[in-house]
């Protein structure tokens, strides 16, 4: 016989008497429900008090952050405007120039065939490089925009938290 079996057999079995009638069972169920509800309300009050105390200690940093965020957003939006404006225009102009480039070498001239192939290869490499630059710029724009959105959400959260008071 294991130790657990000996302990369970030696300990007195305590069972709460079950209510016998339907009314007694319903009353017991209501009493338990009220106890659970009171415990939940008590726990919620405690959590609210802790949250309010934490807000009081964090409020100066939150207010400072609220003042800083608009400046950071403004800088990021300026950078975004430059990226989507001047930088994108430069890439698109280069792409247009490459797409409309005409060979200075006659492709039908057998003596200059190698020179023509080198020109075609160089234009192809330039097109690929321009495509990579364009893709890189798009990724950078997406990251900056995500950062702006993240800062706006943070600002909104801080404002709501201060407004609620917890």
Specify the pTM. Answer: 0.63
Task: Please report the sign of the dihedral spanned by the C-alpha atoms of residue 45, residue 48, residue 49, residue 50.
Answer: positive
Burial class of residue 107, CB neighbours in 10 A (0-12, 13-18, 19+): exposed
CA 54 remoteness from chain centre: 24
**CB-based contact 148:76 (threshold 8 Å):** yes
Q: What is the DSSP string of 18-38?
A: PP-SHHHHHHHHHHHHHHHHH
pLDDT at 8: 58
pLDDT at 37: 94
> Which residues of the chain fall short of a pLDDT of 50?
none
**CB-based contact 151:73 (threshold 8 Å):** yes
SS3 content of the chain, % helix, strand, coil (to 5): 85, 0, 15
Domain boundaries defined on the chain: 28-164
**CB-based contact 55:161 (threshold 8 Å):** yes
Dist. CA 51–CA 165, nearest whole Å? 9
List, for residues 123-138, the tens digit of each pLDDT value.
999 999 999 999 999 9
């Amino acid at each position: 016989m294991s130790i657990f079996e000996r302990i369970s057999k030696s300990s007195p079995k305590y069972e709460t008497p079950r209510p016998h009638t339907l009314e007694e069972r319903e009353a017991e169920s209501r009493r338990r429900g009220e106890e659970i509800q009171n415990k939940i309300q008590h726990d919620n009050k405690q959590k609210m008090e802790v949250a309010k105390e934490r807000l009081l200690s964090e409020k100066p940093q939150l207010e400072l952050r609220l003042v800083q965020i608009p400046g950071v957003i403004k800088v990021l939006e300026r950078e975004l405007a430059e990226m989507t404006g001047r930088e994108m225009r430069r890439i698109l102009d280069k792409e247009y120039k490459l797409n409309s480039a005409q060979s200075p070498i006659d492709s039908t001239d057998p003596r200059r065939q190698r020179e023509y192939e080198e020109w075609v290869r160089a234009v192809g490499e330039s097109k690929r490089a321009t495509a990579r630059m364009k893709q890189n710029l798009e990724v950078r724009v997406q990251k900056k925009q995500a950062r702006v959105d993240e800062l706006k959400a943070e600002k909104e959260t801080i404002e709501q938290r201060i407004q609620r008071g917890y």
